[in-house]
Amino acid sequence: MTKSFSVISDSESDGSSSSTEPWFCEACLYGLKEPPYCELCPNRFGAFKKADIGGGWVHLLCALYTPGITFGDVERLSAISWQEQDYKLFGKRVWLKI
């Protein structure tokens, strides 16, 4: 069973300009039984978005922090594509320091 990731705001007056509508991982919305494989990393768990290439899946964080990744639907951060990525970057690691 896929672990669901969602974001829900408790307060309408938290000062945020973002939407107060619940947000769900697209893999959860599609009802996948098993976590998908990310097209950009070896990890299977996390918040996924649908790719616009070959029906694959990409972690939202991988897409946001990998150079050359584009979004077909910028407002919803979906329809992820790596066609604009420089081929020299394939196989390179992206390190996030949090």
**Count of the separate structural domains present in the chain:** 1
On whether residue 69 sits in a domain, the answer given is yes
Residue 3 lies in a domain: no
Q: Give the model confidence (pLDDT) of 44-59 as tens digits.
A: 889 999 999 888 999 9
**What is the pTM assigned to this prediction?**
0.68
Range of the domain at 68: 36-98
Distances (CA, A) of 73 to 2, 3, 50, 51, 97: 24, 24, 11, 11, 27
Question: Is residue 26, in this structure, part of any structural domain at all?
Answer: no
What's the CA gap between 65 and 16, in Å, rounded? 23
- 8 Å CB contact between 86 and 68: yes
Whether 73 is covered by a domain: the verdict is yes
Within a domain: residue 54? yes
Mind listing the pLDDT tens digit for each residue in 82-98? 877 767 766 666 665 55
- Can you tell me the distance from the alpha carbon of 20 to that of 29, in angstroms, rounded to the nearest whole number? 18
